[in-house]
Amino acid sequence: MHTDPAQIRAFFAARAADWETRYPDDAPAYRAGVAELDLREGQAVLDAGCGTGRAMPFLREGVGASGVVLGADLTPEMLAAAARAGRGAYGGLLLADCARLPLRDDALDAVFAAGLIGHLPDPRACLRELARVTRNGGRLALFHPIGRAALAARQGRELTSDDLRAEPNLGPLLESSGWTLTSYTDTDEGFLAMASAKAEAGADTDA
Ligand SMILES: C[S@@+](CC[C@H](N)C(=O)[O-])C[C@H]1O[C@@H](n2cnc3c(N)ncnc32)[C@H](O)[C@@H]1O
């Protein structure tokens, strides 16, 4: 676990150049993960921790030409690799910390976050910020192209019950940061937790 943004940047900067050649067969899984957001023409969607922007072509397909796609990442080298891969053609590439986004409240209809939350020193702060910029009822997809057990095995570590993405931990984490967990899938084929943005407590609820 990284404890500060500088560590995270250094970790991913070293991996940016060959990020996609390491995982060349993941595109169908990304397409399927994005499909779960059920995006509509004209909507606004953020790829949080976009890396090289692998999901951005699918996000653009979802929102169409009139929609808005943004990819935000903390690591300049990842964004440079995204630009080299032509991902800027699918949306805006933004150097930003997902815990402090330069976006207005309720700006987004949906957020896709692949491989992000396991790397955050303060996941609750990031999830709260994502909830702030997402409209009430907007959707969040926390995605990984392989499941937790397979990822732990690949990394040579044991899967423990305190794993952030275990359902008994993730549900309350989302609940305390502005989201409601609506579905949870964790198999060797992939991880996908879907959540819905809650109305802020005390917010106007015009009937
Ligand atoms: C495991 S990589 C996944 C990249 C991409 N989503 C993908 O699926 O290929 C995690 C990414 O999250 C970015 N990241 C980590 N913490 C972040 C933060 N607080 N704000 C924005 N991006 C962050 C890293 O720079 C890295 O590019």
CA-nearest residue, atom 14 of ligand 1: 49
Q: What is the pLDDT of residues 148-161, one digit of tens each?
A: 999 999 989 999 99
Ranges of each domain in the chain: 5-197
Q: Is the CB of 78 under 6 A from ligand 1?
A: yes
Domain 5-197 architecture: 3-Layer(aba) Sandwich (3.40)
What lies within 8 Å, CB to CB, of 8 at 6+ separation is 2, 74, 75, 119, 121
Are the CB atoms for 130 and 48 separated by under 8 Å?
Answer: yes
Q: What is the pLDDT of residues 170-206, one digit of tens each?
A: 999 999 999 999 999 999 889 999 999 997 654 544 4
Rounded Cα–Cα distance for residues 123 and 46 (Å) = 17
Order of strands across the sheet with 68-73? 92-95, 68-73, 44-48, 108-114, 134-144, 190-197, 179-187
Are the CB atoms for 49 and 98 separated by under 8 Å?
Answer: yes
Q: How confident is the model at residue 1 (pLDDT cuts 50, 70, 90)?
A: low
Q: pTM score, two decimals?
A: 0.94
CA-nearest residue, atom 3 of ligand 1: 115
Are the CB atoms for 51 and 115 separated by under 8 Å?
Answer: yes
CB atoms within 10 A of CB 16: 20
For residue 4, the model assigns a pLDDT of 81
Q: Is the CB of 117 under 6 A from ligand 1?
A: no
Cα of 30 to ligand 1 centre, how many Å?
Answer: 15
Nearest of 49, 71, 51 to residue 60 by alpha carbon = 71
